[in-house]
Structure 1
Amino acid sequence: MLPSCTRCSLPATIRTVLKSASGLTASDPASDPASMSTLKGWIKSIRGHKNVSFISISDGSTYEPLQAVYRGVLGPEYSIGASVQLTGKLQPSRGRQEVEFLISKSSVLGPCDTMEYPIQKKNLPTKVLRDHAHLRFRTTQTTALMHLRDGILRDWHDWFESNAFTYIHTPVLTSSDCEGAGETFSLSSNVFPDRVNLTVSSQLHLEAPTHAVSRTYTLSPCFRAEPSATPRHLAEFYMLEGEVVVDTLDGLMDVVEDGIKSTLKSMLRGTTDRSERLRDALLAIRSSDVVRDTMADLNTTMYEPFARMTYAKAIKILTKHHAVTPFNHPPIPGHGLSLEHEKHLAADRPIFITHYPAAIKPFYMLPADNDTVACFDLLLPSLGEIAGGSLREHRLSHLEASLPSEEYAWYADLRRYGSIPHGGWGMGWDRWISWITGVDNVKDVVAFPRWVGHCKY
């Protein structure tokens, strides 16, 4: 079923025209006025012969450009990158493609200087594309990535809605530092009496409505002033976060596992028009020779139960492996896991690593046995950490003993007035897209990436 607008007449796209003309035969009259369409798009390539010109045109609705045929010679204003309006009709093609668009009328809407236009070659280095992030949407891969981000987000919205979660718009400006790591962007302004920060996580604010509606979530921008320029880090990124009234850590991990499995199945096995478009987008992204094949990891994640292992056991396994095949960074009890440790633990299937030492985790996590907290990190094959979560400390007296400052008095009020056991998690959205697509650098799955030293737009 094609997208529709009940109160307006949306212009035709290449996709809608191709859909409406499915089953076209050679006997169909090319000059039938009732079957004429007008398309707008950008020229991807152009070649001319003595009496005929061929234009490849794209409008972003498909991942293969449509070949348009003009009987005659087009002027020099018809160049790569120029936007054009073409009126004509689809007809069976004599070339490799099934159909082509026979032009009866054309005009250039926006000219493009080919001597200066940087997006001309079919395959450009990623650094060149990052330096022209405002124009890289014209490439097939970036177009497909934007469609995929949009479609997967809708699948997650559907999953949350089917499980009675309420979407919350959480603030970007905050007086707190959720992680307590001191990696915030601070702002000074006459508007506020005290310093404010750009949020590093929506978790604390998301807990407030959870104490009224039980299940909440958000997908919001987060900001961390990290000096890291690795392929996994950005200064501005998106986090998918959920909070839910729940009694056990296993129950919370069940929720996270079901969300991941369900949304992957919707994308890869679903029968809706959206699912088909997502699979088309994934194929278009993978047409690049720099993209890693992820199908084995996706299938394992969809169908295999996620493993669950305590941090203490993980350290023992890593230490034993390190004695035979040394890691670059030795596993140290009481410290966090490095990326190579995470990938080793998740080599065969996704795994929850639970019950980290309380000393290396934030104040809001619920204490568990043996100086640990009821928390988890979820590790995915070939990626490492994708999500982290915990049961939250819901007892007022225990929370007040560990609150870092008076700025969190409002957070303590949630426990003072009708507290309830609950937990939540956060998942790096850009890493999620990177893992699904096999585009290993998160800078290349974000529309306008910001990282240390780079905020061009």
Structure 2
Amino acid sequence: MQLYSVLELLHQDNKLPEVEIKGWVRTFRANRFIALNDGSTINNIQCVVDFENTDETLLKRITTGAAIHIKGELVESQGKGQNVEIIVSSLDVLGDAHPDEYPIQPKKHSFEFLRENAHLRTRTSTFSAVMRLRSNLSFAIHKYFNDNGFYYMHTPIITGSDAEGAGEMFRVSKLDAKNPPLTENGAIDYSKDFFGKETNLTVSGQLEAETYAMSLGKVYTFGPTFRAENSNTSRHLSEFWMIEPEVAFMDLPGNMDLAEDFMKYVLTYVLEHNREDLDFLEQRLLNEEKTKPQAERNDMSLIEKLNFVIENNFMRVSYTEAIDILRNSKPNKKKKFKYPIEEWGVDLQSEHERFLVEKHFKCPVILFDYPANIKAFYMRLNDDGKTVRAMDILFPGIGEMVGGSQREERLEVLKEKMAALNIPEEELWWYLDLRKYGTAVHSGFGLGFERLVMFVTGMSNIRDVIPFPRTPQNAEF
């Protein structure tokens, strides 16, 4: 007898006289109908038990959450809601789930409650759909880069440099926390530490990826990054995953082309491979929207948003042009923006980015040539001396999705920018070496994976798109 998944059985066109399946009970009603799920699909398969000929003690053990093993016949369903069902010939309970203790009962649970039970929340339809989408998005990302000649590299998680210059990093140390060695000046002597210097968890793999791009041509890294930012908003995590491609001999327009093609590919992939999950999540969102005031409802459904990105060319607009549009817009003139646009040089907020995408251009937008003083030191300085060849890609409903730039390839200019920001040359000597030995134009971008998963699933809190969220005061599981 062959062991099947729920997904395989639900897509069977023919009756099967003997099937075997294992999974978890979602519901058991009338001592007869088991809704069984094994994680392979959003849908359950109905298993029909002959309760008259089944031991009563066994029936009592078939509770929500129990793991069971079923053998039977796959037949055309006699009821509504499913095409096929299993007539059970034998049933075994592999693992009990006592109903007075099991927290994921068949009722509506708040996301806050489910975060407290993150080890079990994928037993729900919503979170199983989210995590299947997360998995397939990961695969699509690797497939895109592999099919386009990129090499996958693993950048260090422990680092001695701060790629973003933000300074909000988690320290990695073996020193005695209560009695660390001190220098003559009374500072902690990190030369006595495990690595002989102060080290931290990485905030980005970009700088190391650049070194490989300048020898292998096209590379990408997709790994965990860490920020010690004390933020409890719905868009911040202390541990998250970043996708960061770097390409030698590619300028800013080429970087835009790559990012647009990449985003359209991965969204198309999940539309083709996770349609049932997306349909379920879209319906969840539609039901949620009905409870909101009319003014707060989204203009597009979940799948409409994905197609909005896939089907439209991304509009490319300079930061300067965008500021002019925003400054002269009705929301700005009528003081509807929470952060009014008054002068050139300000950093844009989500409300501004969404206005450009959803109201003004009505398509995804790539902003470029940002003021140098609001962007990172490694971005290529333009000839005007005040802007850099940076780009941000803006999506509906979320604002910034991708951030990237043409990297500064000129040694002296890079050294000047580092000096202005008090970044010691000895800390990044190897990064400067790339500009001394065979320098060339090169570019790349970064994409926070959890933000992408939020966009694809419609989840409003970033803690609900990563298996075990790490946030301030929270390192459970």
Confirm or deny a common fold (TM above 0.5).
Answer: yes
Distance, in Å, in 1 between the alignment partners of 2:257 and 2:24 is: 47
Shift in Å at residue 451 of structure 1?
1.7
Shift in Å at residue 247 of structure 1?
4.2
| Corresponding position: 1:366 with 2:380 | yes
Distance, in Å, in 2 between the alignment partners of 1:111 and 1:147 is: 25
Name the residue aligned to 1:400. 415
Distance, in Å, in 2 between the alignment partners of 1:265 and 1:139 is: 25
Query: Residues 170-198 of structure 1: CA distance to partner in whole angstroms, max 9, x if unpaired?
Result: 11111111110111111212422112111
Name the residue aligned to 1:14. 6
- Please report the RMSD computed on the Cα atoms of aligned residues, expressed in angstroms: 1.8
Contact 1:231–1:440 (Cα < 8 Å) also in 2: yes
Match of 2:145 among 160, 164, 170: 160
Q: Which amino acid aligns with 2:254?
A: G
| Corresponding position: 1:119 with 2:79 | no
Shift in Å at residue 402 of structure 1?
2.6
Shift in Å at residue 11 of structure 1?
4.2
Instruction: Give secondary structure in 2 for the equivalent of 1:222.
Output: strand
**Aligned ranges 1:138-287 → 2 under 5 Å:** 138-189=123-174, 190-268=193-271, 275-276=272-273, 278-287=274-283
Match of 2:118 among 110, 128, 133: 133
Q: Which amino acid aligns with 1:220?
A: G
Match of 1:297 among 305, 321, 336: 305
Name the residue aligned to 2:470. 450
Taking only the aligned residue pairs, the percentage that are identical comes to 38
| Corresponding position: 1:425 with 2:416 | no
Instruction: Give secondary structure in 2 for the equivalent of 1:285.
Output: helix
Query: Residues 185-238 of structure 1: CA distance to partner in whole angstroms, max 9, x if unpaired?
Result: 112124221121111111001001101111011211111112222221111111
Distance, in Å, in 2 between the alignment partners of 1:431 and 1:112 is: 34
Distance, in Å, in 1 between the alignment partners of 2:402 and 2:416 is: 27
Distance, in Å, in 2 between the alignment partners of 1:309 and 1:62 is: 41
Shift in Å at residue 142 of structure 1?
1.1
Contact 2:49–2:87 (Cα < 8 Å) also in 1: yes
Match of 1:409 among 417, 421, 429: 429
Q: Which amino acid aligns with 1:66?
A: I
Shift in Å at residue 287 of structure 1?
3.6
Name the residue aligned to 2:30. 48
Shift in Å at residue 17 of structure 1?
3.2
Instruction: Give secondary structure in 1 for the equivalent of 2:13.
Output: coil
Contact 1:282–1:437 (Cα < 8 Å) also in 2: yes
Distance, in Å, in 1 between the alignment partners of 2:288 and 2:117 is: 19
Distance, in Å, in 1 between the alignment partners of 2:335 and 2:319 is: 20
Instruction: Give secondary structure in 1 for the equivalent of 2:64.
Output: coil
Contact 1:350–1:380 (Cα < 8 Å) also in 2: yes
Contact 1:184–1:199 (Cα < 8 Å) also in 2: yes
Distance, in Å, in 1 between the alignment partners of 2:356 and 2:234 is: 20
Moved more, 92-101 or 423-432: 92-101
Instruction: Give secondary structure in 2 for the equivalent of 1:148.
Output: helix
| Corresponding position: 1:23 with 2:14 | yes
Name the residue aligned to 1:3. none
Distance, in Å, in 2 between the alignment partners of 1:280 and 1:220 is: 28
Shift in Å at residue 18 of structure 1?
3.5
Moved more, 330-339 or 413-422: 330-339
Name the residue aligned to 1:328. 338
After superposition, the Cα gap between the structure-2 partners of 1:267 and 1:137, relative to the gap in structure 1 and judged at 3 Å, is closer
Shift in Å at residue 94 of structure 1?
1.5
Distance, in Å, in 1 between the alignment partners of 2:387 and 2:475 is: 39
Match of 2:405 among 387, 390, 393: 390
Distance, in Å, in 2 between the alignment partners of 1:207 and 1:376 is: 17
Shift in Å at residue 362 of structure 1?
1.4
Query: Residues 219-260 of structure 1: CA distance to partner in whole angstroms, max 9, x if unpaired?
Result: 111111122222211111111111012343112101111111
Distance, in Å, in 2 between the alignment partners of 1:426 and 1:356 is: 16
Q: Which amino acid aligns with 1:451?
A: T
Shift in Å at residue 106 of structure 1?
1.1
Query: Residues 81-134 of structure 1: CA distance to partner in whole angstroms, max 9, x if unpaired?
Result: 111111111122221122211111111111111111111134211111111111
Match of 1:308 among 316, 319, 330: 316
Query: Residues 274-293 of structure 1: CA distance to partner in whole angstroms, max 9, x if unpaired?
Result: x33x1122123234233872
Q: Which amino acid aligns with 1:78?
A: I
After superposition, the Cα gap between the structure-2 partners of 1:236 and 1:10, relative to the gap in structure 1 and judged at 3 Å, is farther
Instruction: Give secondary structure in 2 for the equivalent of 1:76.
Output: helix
Alignment coverage as a number of residue pairs = 429
Contact 1:351–1:380 (Cα < 8 Å) also in 2: yes
Query: Residues 360-393 of structure 1: CA distance to partner in whole angstroms, max 9, x if unpaired?
Result: 2111111003311011111111110011001111
Match of 1:338 among 349, 356, 365: 349
Contact 1:246–1:252 (Cα < 8 Å) also in 2: no
Distance, in Å, in 1 between the alignment partners of 2:7 and 2:370 is: 50
Q: Which amino acid aligns with 1:39?
A: I
Contact 2:278–2:303 (Cα < 8 Å) also in 1: no
Shift in Å at residue 57 of structure 1?
1.0
